[in-house]
Chain A
Amino acid sequence: MIDLEFMINTVSLGSLYALLSLGLVFVYGILKLVNFAYGEYLMVAGYAMYVLGTFTGVPWYATLVLAVLTAALVSYLTELVAFRPVRTKSLTAMLVTSFAVSVFLQNVVLITISSRSRAVRFPSFFSQTITLGDATVPLRNLMIIAITIILLTALTLVMKKTVLGMAMRAAADRFTTTRLMGVPANLVISAAFLISGTLAGVVSIFWVSRSASVDPLIGMAPLLIAFIATVMGGMHSLVGAVIGGFVYGLLFNVLSITLPASLISYRDAFMFVIVILFLLFRPEGIWKGGYTEERVG
């Protein structure tokens, strides 16, 4: 059963989850905040694709780019309007704010569009399959892998080679000391939210294309996956998040083929068991980052 098809599909699922987790950890690393509104950035990108694809003549590639930009922009705006004013208050205030932002964004689409799901149009190649040797895989899965390679390479370059990237890594380690270097706090935090939203937007394209529909609550499952994957991989580093995403994808697909049919619907429960085991026996995750637990104040 572990054949080429399984491997490609697993790497593809892992790639998607790696991008998803990375987006959550970019903000967590700097603000030590699990942003519960993260799934809504994905949801917003989904609705952008729905609106542009249904009511305008915008070509598909422009629609996808605009959807990603929408997620990045909404992420940036939530930081500016909601998180920034409470940043120097307690971490609890930040958590509550992120819940509020999440519910607010859900309600915006609920009121302005509908509580029911809406069909999103994708170009036909999204649903094509291609044959490689004896493996038949959806073209979409290969696109996910390619885009993940491009994005991870680009992000690595930004984080390692640019001063902003250095400042972001420094801020995740010691936020206060980073400010002493003259790095504006708002700069690194805004950058983190922009990258986080961009990643959510990219993931949204592939997430939404699976069902070709979007609904107000579509962000909840990806948020949970990102959270579980980062707990497994390690909340304290970007590498840990990527590893966690791939491990999640692998475990999920292995469970899918090994669990008997009667248990398959309990797959998520098994994933939770694994998370609880991680929290009990290796709370720092697979990849130990060297980061301290300093709060931004």
Chain B
Amino acid sequence: MLTIENLTASYGAITALHGISLEVGEGELVALLGSNGAGKSTTLKSICGLLRPGQGTIRFLGEDIAGRAPEVILKKGISMVPEGREIFGGLTVEENLRLGAFTSYQRDRYRTDLDEMFALFPILKERFTQAGGLLSGGEQQMLAIARALMSHPKLLMLDEPSLGLSPTMTDSIFELISDLRDRGTTILLVEQNAERALEIVDRAYLLTTGSIEFSGTPDELKRRVDIASVYFGGEDDGTCEVRL
């Protein structure tokens, strides 16, 4: 579904991605793991068009989408839950969801979509008319995911959805992500919480300072990589050890 080849990206003089390649198949739940500053968010931003990549290709459903505008890429079916949730704090929960449906809005379907979101996240129904900024961190994360789902994405990308959440809230977010996968959504998940992510994903990529260090199934990854070193930010030189 999504195929990235030799993608580079940089912020001015700083090169954040040194030619990475990765693939997400239809219906797959794939994790992109790595320590702080590894380039995970940069990868997602390049895919969804917030960052113009340098070289390489990003093919989605057979079409090269590298460098297209975010609004165009969303229409093609890629929706992103950004790092830090990025709720519109001054807008109500209702308005946040309505904007999520900006490109896909159809009057009759909109109602059923909302009901579906209320079924997934009952709290959003309770808080429907409240300002998004008044929700707790976990509730905001749910709103951010619901908002992204309103556009009926073919590929959902989540950037550190468990960041800053309580352990119970983290549990429910991870549970939700596997639910979404079971319902057929293709998901690319960025996480620092590698251990938790590896429990639910089909495959994982390990990113270290802008390069893919390893890719494979969770079992392979656990066997060959010291997960704790990923989680705690790698060795002194910033890379984590791969046991071959």
Hey, which bits of chain A sit against chain B, CB under 8 A? 163, 166-167, 169-170, 173-174, 176-185, 289-291
Residue in A173, A180, A181, A183 whose Cβ sees the most chain B Cβ within 10 Å: A180
- In this assembly, does B184 line the interface, its C-beta being within 8 Å of a C-beta of chain A? no
| 19 residue pairs A–B, Cβ–Cβ below 8 Å | A166-B95, A169-B88, A169-B90, A169-B91, A173-B88, A177-B82, A178-B88, A179-B50, A179-B70, A179-B71, A180-B48, A180-B79, A180-B80, A181-B103, A181-B147, A183-B102, A185-B71, A290-B89, A290-B90
Chain A residues with CB under 8 Å of B70's CB are 176, 179-180, 182
Q: How far is the CB of A284 from chain B (nearest CB, A)?
A: 15
- In this assembly, does B238 line the interface, its C-beta being within 8 Å of a C-beta of chain A? no
- In this assembly, does B100 line the interface, its C-beta being within 8 Å of a C-beta of chain A? yes
Chain A residues with CB under 8 Å of B95's CB are 166, 169-170
A182 contacts B91, C-beta separation under 8 Å: no
- In this assembly, does B173 line the interface, its C-beta being within 8 Å of a C-beta of chain A? no
- In this assembly, does B74 line the interface, its C-beta being within 8 Å of a C-beta of chain A? yes
B89 contacts A173, C-beta separation under 8 Å: yes
Chain B residues with CB under 8 Å of A291's CB are 90
Chain B residues with CB under 8 Å of A289's CB are 90
Supply 6 further A-B pairs (C-beta < 8 A) apart from A179-B70, A183-B71: A170-B88, A170-B99, A173-B90, A177-B88, A181-B100, A184-B71
Chain A residues with CB under 8 Å of B75's CB are 182
Chain B residues with CB under 8 Å of A170's CB are 88, 91, 95, 99
B24-67 contact mask (Cβ, 8 Å, vs A): 1 or 0: 00000000000000000000000010100000000000000000
Q: How far is the CB of B133 from chain A (nearest CB, A)?
A: 6
A178 contacts B99, C-beta separation under 8 Å: yes
A291-B90 Cα distance, complex, nearest whole Å = 8
A166 contacts B98, C-beta separation under 8 Å: yes
Q: How far is the CB of A118 from chain B (nearest CB, A)?
A: 44
B133 contacts A290, C-beta separation under 8 Å: yes
Q: How far is the CB of A220 from chain B (nearest CB, A)?
A: 33
- In this assembly, does B182 line the interface, its C-beta being within 8 Å of a C-beta of chain A? no
Q: Across the two chains, which residue of chain A brings its CB closest to B151?
A: A182
Q: How far is the CB of A128 from chain B (nearest CB, A)?
A: 43
Chain A residues with CB under 8 Å of B50's CB are 176, 179-180
Q: How far is the CB of A273 from chain B (nearest CB, A)?
A: 32
Q: How far is the CB of B150 from chain A (nearest CB, A)?
A: 9
- In this assembly, does B123 line the interface, its C-beta being within 8 Å of a C-beta of chain A? no
A130-B48 Cα distance, complex, nearest whole Å = 61
A134-B147 Cα distance, complex, nearest whole Å = 58
Q: How far is the CB of B156 from chain A (nearest CB, A)?
A: 12
- In this assembly, does B228 line the interface, its C-beta being within 8 Å of a C-beta of chain A? no
- In this assembly, does B232 line the interface, its C-beta being within 8 Å of a C-beta of chain A? no
A180-B69 Cα distance, complex, nearest whole Å = 9
The listed residue (A167, A173, A174, A176) touching B102 by CB distance below 8 A is A167
A176-B103 Cα distance, complex, nearest whole Å = 16
Q: How far is the CB of B127 from chain A (nearest CB, A)?
A: 17
Q: What 7 A-B pairs are tightest by C-beta distance, nearest first?
A: A182-B103, A182-B74, A177-B86, A179-B70, A170-B88, A181-B99, A182-B102
A291-B88 Cα distance, complex, nearest whole Å = 9
A174-B99 Cα distance, complex, nearest whole Å = 12
B102 contacts A181, C-beta separation under 8 Å: yes
A179 contacts B69, C-beta separation under 8 Å: yes
